Structure 1
């Protein structure tokens, strides 16, 4: 009997002691999961010890901290309601729920419609018949200027386009809709579109959409959508090939005022897309910065080092106040499309510091060289900046937004782009069309720096809400009968003949050659 009792005692001991100990350990683990570290330390520290100060772990430079509380349901409802409220053809730039967004929204019926973000190179086409007869659907087109929403990329991958969302998320139509936006990959077959089947406020889950090059042309991504979601484009060169993309180098500074002692230049390294330049302009607006001259293109490769910006010349009467005349931009900041910039600050010398300085310091001339580390002797771009006190820096008056634009059919757009792109000795190419649209010489020079000036001027014509009939008339006046014939052929197939206004009466000898 005694031996039986002694054999039971260990089991009883485990029940009496083991269960409370296990419960205590489980409770401690729960506290570690759910209780903040400082609070947990305060609960367990001895009275004689001071509470240690918790230092937050620093985030990488390209991943800024948000510190934003989670959104409540009413906040989320208000967020999406504002995005999908019709904007009457206007493009709106607004910060909503800690995201900087550019968006436009409208109602679409069975006749279809087009949304375009002004100056961004982004459009959404809803074809006729995509919405059932008798129904109206609200649709929105959104450019996401929040860099944290872009895909997480490897060192071999480069971001070559913006992040674009079509809303409402998950909406589907009777016919595929067409989303179009710009990319800056040098080789379109290396550009691969990605999609995140999530809402704007959810964590993004990016997945490839088809094979590389499936949705890309020379400088454009065109995706036929079965439903609405988020989209972007990533550069992925095949093994053994070098991936490259086009950058645009944009110089900004504030006006040079009489008596001003310092002047700062800021040089942005941007993807060569319209929306990247517009982001830089929006970023400069609070500081009074203005774009100085046309942007310069730069051939940027993913297999090289950091980008160097070297100050090589400052005009008499000014001096560089920075510690160094050479600055570096981390390679991945450019390759992953973070829109970085570097700045130089210059001080105007006083009359006692330089002979005849007062006569020269009213103007500043700066020359900079930029190149990828290790390639200075092979490839380099020269940036020149000049400003004087006499220049007019008046901000142009605000221009009212036009109504929803007419979108040129993609096939006709590409045909006209091919015909207008080659430079003519007489200038009767895209430059003549730009003049007819009212562009000045400086804007035409700016367009000449784009990858496809002809495409840029045709997009400007679209943004001015031009019709095919008007474009046909302009081509006839320009005596570009090949372009006029292409437009007339398209209009004939669609059952809408092109009226020959004005130009045909002024030039009775002109006839369209259908063989062109």
Structure 2
């Protein structure tokens, strides 16, 4: 007989499906139960005569459920503040079948979440009005920091700055040059009812400037013949953006008591309202005596908006950044080139003075961010053989080292940016600094014959030799017995000799000789030199000694508020907001410092609340003459900050 197994009436052939095995005693073995093995199984025996079937056996293969992988966490269900988020899984890997058990566990998980709420920016209160500028305008500012926009919040709408005229119609923007006495036919004398010409009559005394906080601070004009028709006239003393340097008034000095009747006044005509504060509505005036001298000092009153002090023609300036002075405060600050013999830096071994000694003050002021002091120098910065130091003078008169370049530490109180002709120093404290070539020719009645030229002077102990050549001997005779003159090396190197000079005396044979041509050779013995070709016409002093000072020597010594800066405040704040936060790719203030060649000691900037702001302050000091924003724009473009370029293009004329 023959035995067969049927699965759902189909004959099972183990040779076709190896998962089945039929033993020699005709038992059916399913090697591994599969889902497809679920069926009705029947055993059938047959011979030639008949067939016989067993009872059908139902085989059911069940599948227990399995979890799928977790989904991603859902977004926080609350767009602002505390909420929750969840993730899910399904019992489909595999799904339970044929009575298999369901998955064990939860099909979802929930966790709490917190979404940072967007904070819209809001303005602070307006600052107090700044001092009156040269444009007869004063400014006030506010900041979008109450609160600062964050987490995608909206920026403040409106302007950062507000300005208005500050002279009530008495604008002194147009300067008058009062070089010749006016006629006695003064229209004010002929017509007493006319308002006095304050641009002329207020320029009598010059001195330090104070901010007048109280509108009741009015200084009455003293009676004088010129103003008798207006005995009750009062004039408010406004802040001036240009402060000239003159001896201060003493107690009891009348405001206009010294006006010459003919209308001519001392000074250069550029000084504006009298710079003083009255102690009371009626009474004497008192001025703070500042160490200043005409031509070598400048002063001005600064507020939160900042500004710039400049001593024209010297290369010395002080940049007071926006926000350096606490809001609501007004500081009178001054800048002085020291000439006192006691202020000279003593020679110490192989040291020599490379710059004038400059005092910026007053000392002890609370500064919220560093100011930038710019000092000219005569160092060869390309030389690697020298160590450059910045020194400051203590109250006892001693000179102390502040910083040695390239040896800065976290305790170094300042940062020096050394350029070819200037040193820009970021300072948190005002004082006297030196990194001295001062003129005496003016007092000796001399005038400039040739533009100055640089001469490398080395620490070789060799003297400076000067000689005159190619004199037309038929017309002129030199009274110099020797062929040359020398200035001792130590007189130059020590910096302690203030009146270094050399005189060549020439005598003409005839008064008819009005022209002189010759050469002056200046060189260090066994060193380098310069030759000056001179062509002099007597009586023509067009190139007076004043031309030794730069062409902008008539520029205002004080600039206040937005007028002092090349980068508009709104652009500056956007750049700071974009670059202050550290970036893992380094595309932040550190890269900006590198692009602007200010990365000699980055740790100094890292300690500041706004590293980008301090870098931009330094850029302002470096570019005070050219004011070219291209270098800054190029640096931002190389950094991939194209959005900043759009801002600069759209707001550059603000």
Q: What's the TM-score, normalizing by structure 2?
A: 0.41
Residue 23 of structure 1 is matched in structure 2 by none
Partner Cα separation in structure 2 for residue 160 and residue 342 of structure 1 = 21
Select 1:363's aligned residue among 500, 509, 515.
515
**Contact 1:126 1:177 (8 Å CA) reproduced:** yes
Select 2:355's aligned residue among 152, 158, 161.
161
Residue 419 of structure 2 is matched in structure 1 by 218
Indicate the RMSD between aligned Cα atoms, in angstroms.
4.3
1:229 aligns with 2:229: no
SS where residue 297 of structure 1 aligns?
coil
- The structure whose Rg is larger is 2
SS where residue 305 of structure 1 aligns?
coil
SS where residue 172 of structure 1 aligns?
coil
Distance 1:176 1:165, change over 3 A: same
The equivalences for 1:76-95 within 5 A come to 88-90=241-243, 92=245
Structure 1 segments (4+ residues) deviating >6 Å: 83-87, 93-99, 394-399, 409-418, 487-491
SS where residue 492 of structure 1 aligns?
helix
Partner Cα separation in structure 1 for residue 492 and residue 365 of structure 2 = 34
**Contact 1:99 1:146 (8 Å CA) reproduced:** no
Q: Which has the higher contact order (CA 8 A, sep 6+)?
A: 1
Deviation (angstroms), 1:89: 2.3
Partner Cα separation in structure 2 for residue 308 and residue 177 of structure 1 = 41
**Contact 1:100 1:146 (8 Å CA) reproduced:** no
SS where residue 300 of structure 1 aligns?
coil
Deviation (angstroms), 1:131: 1.9
Deviation (angstroms), 1:182: 1.5
Residue 333 of structure 1 is matched in structure 2 by 491
Residue 209 of structure 1 is matched in structure 2 by 402
1:293 aligns with 2:475: no
1:223-259 deviation digits (Å, cap 9, x = unpaired): 22222111001xxxxxxxxxxxxxxxxxxxxxxxxxx
SS where residue 492 of structure 2 aligns?
helix
SS where residue 418 of structure 2 aligns?
coil
Deviation (angstroms), 1:154: 2.1
1:50-102 deviation digits (Å, cap 9, x = unpaired): xxxxxxxxxxxxxxxxxxxxxxxxxxxxxxx9567687425637799998572
Residue 53 of structure 1 is matched in structure 2 by none
**Contact 1:191 1:216 (8 Å CA) reproduced:** no
Deviation (angstroms), 1:121: 1.0
Partner Cα separation in structure 2 for residue 132 and residue 155 of structure 1 = 43
Deviation (angstroms), 1:140: 1.1
Query: Greater share of helix residues, 1 or 2?
Result: 1
Deviation (angstroms), 1:456: 12
Partner Cα separation in structure 2 for residue 285 and residue 174 of structure 1 = 41
1:360-385 deviation digits (Å, cap 9, x = unpaired): x3211121222223x1xx53322222
Select 1:313's aligned residue among 445, 448, 470.
470
**Contact 1:116 1:124 (8 Å CA) reproduced:** yes
**Contact 1:84 1:140 (8 Å CA) reproduced:** no
**Contact 1:84 1:167 (8 Å CA) reproduced:** no
Q: Which runs of 5+ in 1 are unaligned?
A: 1-80, 234-270, 352-357, 419-454, 462-467, 476-481, 502-516
1:393-449 deviation digits (Å, cap 9, x = unpaired): 38699985436263557999998999xxxxxxxxxxxxxxxxxxxxxxxxxxxxxxx
Partner Cα separation in structure 2 for residue 112 and residue 500 of structure 1 = 19
**Contact 2:388 2:404 (8 Å CA) reproduced:** no
SS where residue 505 of structure 2 aligns?
strand
**Residues 216-225 or 326-335, more deviating:** 216-225
